[in-house]
Amino acid sequence: MDQNLAICLGDDALILGHRLSEWCGHAPSLEVDLALANIGLDLLGQAQFFLGLAGDADALAYQRDAHEFQNCLLVEQPNGDFARTIARQFLFSTWQELLFRDLAQSKNPDMAAIAGKALKEVTYHARFAAEWTIRLGDGTAESQRRMTEGFDWCWRFTDELVSGDNAALRPEWDARINTTLAQAKLDRPKPVRGITGGRAGRHSEHLGHILSEMQFLQSAYPDAVW
Amino acid sequence: MKNALPLWEVFIRTKNGLSHRHVGSVHAAGPRMALEAARDVYTRRMEGVSLWVVPSESITASDPSESASLFDPAADKIYRHPTFYAVPDNIKHI
């Protein structure tokens, strides 16, 4: 079970890390550019640890096809505008923070160590994304519209995070989300029918596009070294 | 967007016992976000243990045109420099 969990968490981190790397050089300001790249690199490090716990991290990252990935659907969603990226990050990092806080107490010492290290990182990610959520939600008419649209886009993918094995996290996750949304003067998105399946390898078309870029070198030049 | 955000001066304490030193500036909407931006821009490589951010507009700077009257008079007063003392080797930060 731990191996399956490690793959899920590793894939989450790997795919979202790649998504954030797409912002590099394109973010609204130098400060945000570095912040998003930092978060992406933190996630890449987490992916290396989690996938390393499950097996050969490089092979798992570069030699699997889309249906073998077990990341949640939220992380593979396109960046959209900055507000949507922030919405995705806030929803995801808040979830990661709650989950890693529990996993840091895991009976598996490796899992506990990785989660404990990652917890420090994701606590910052969640705080960063919450700050921006508040700033944009309680900002101008345009930033509020964009932030609302960002949450609306992401909302249907959040069920997957807090159901099944992680259903116990839902009340606290809900409370954290509600608190920040209230501070941001944003309405909680209306309930929608959640879309799930990522954990079982049923992905949106977006994942294939991510992999074709991420795995390009390995596909074109298998086992290349320098 | 960037031009609309206020500027903050960033100071880092590199380790306990040293003073905060000015390292640069960031744009941010508020003090907390300025701290986060400073953390992301200036402490990526373990540069510090403490951060200060100060609104740039709070800083009153000396006028470059007055530098002659402000600073030049000190130039020929070498007796104000502690160069006539032997500094012990193990004193690192004086």
Chain segment A33-84, per-residue pLDDT in tens? 999 999 999 999 999 999 999 999 999 999 999 999 999 999 999 999 999 9
* Inter-CA distances, A172 with A162, A169, B80, Å: 10, 6, 63
pLDDT at residue B30 in the model: 92
φ, ψ dihedrals at B7, nearest 5°: -95, 145
Mapping DSSP to helix (H, G, I), strand (E, B) and coil, where does residue B7 land?
Answer: strand
In b/e form, how buried is each residue of A192-222, taking b as 16+ CB within 10 angstroms? eeeebebbebebbebbeebbeebeeeeeeee
Cα A185 from Cα A82, distance rounded (Å): 18
Looking at residue A24, its amino acid is C
pLDDT of residue B83 exceeding 80: no
- Helix, strand, coil content of chain B in percent (nearest 5): 35, 20, 40
- The percentage of residues in chain A with a pLDDT greater than 70, rounded to a whole number, is 100
Mean pLDDT of B34-41: 95
Residue-range domains of chain B with CATH:
1-58 (3.10.20.520)
Phi, psi of B82, rounded to the nearest 5 degrees: -80, 40
| Mutation site, B2, B3, B40, B41, interface A, largest A CB count within 10 A | B40
B93 touching A (Cβ < 8 Å): no
Q: Sorting pLDDT into bands at 50, 70 and 90, what band is A5? A: very high
In B, which residues are within 8 Å of A127 by CB distance? 36
The CA distances from residue B15 to A12, A61, B1, B20, B93, in Å, are 35, 38, 34, 9, 12
Phi (first) and psi of residue B74, to 5 degrees = -80, -10
CATH of A2-220, picked from 1.10.10.60, 3.40.50.720, 1.20.1260.10, 2.40.30.10, is 1.20.1260.10
- The Cα of B2 is separated from the nearest Cα of chain A by a number of Å equal to 6
Domain ranges of chain A: 2-220
How many residue contacts between A and B have a Cβ separation below 8 Å? Answer: 34
Sequence-distant (6+) residues with CB within 8 A of B19 are B13
Q: What is the mean pLDDT of residues A149-177?
A: 96
pLDDT confidence tier of residue A1, bands split at 50, 70 and 90: low
pLDDT at B2: 47
The answer to whether A206 contacts chain B (CB < 8 Å) is: no
Q: Which of A8-17, A144-153, B61-70, B74-83 shows the lowest mean pLDDT across its residues? A: B74-83
Tokens of A32: 């945000």
Write out pLDDT tens, residues A81-120: 999 999 999 999 999 999 999 999 999 999 999 999 999 9
Alpha-carbon distance A175 to A165, whole Å?
19
A114 vs A46: CA distance, rounded Å: 8
Is the pLDDT at B38 greater than 70, yes or no?
yes
Residues from chain A contacting residue B30 (CB–CB below 8 Å): 135
Ordered alpha helix ranges (H), B1-94 = 31-42, 67-71
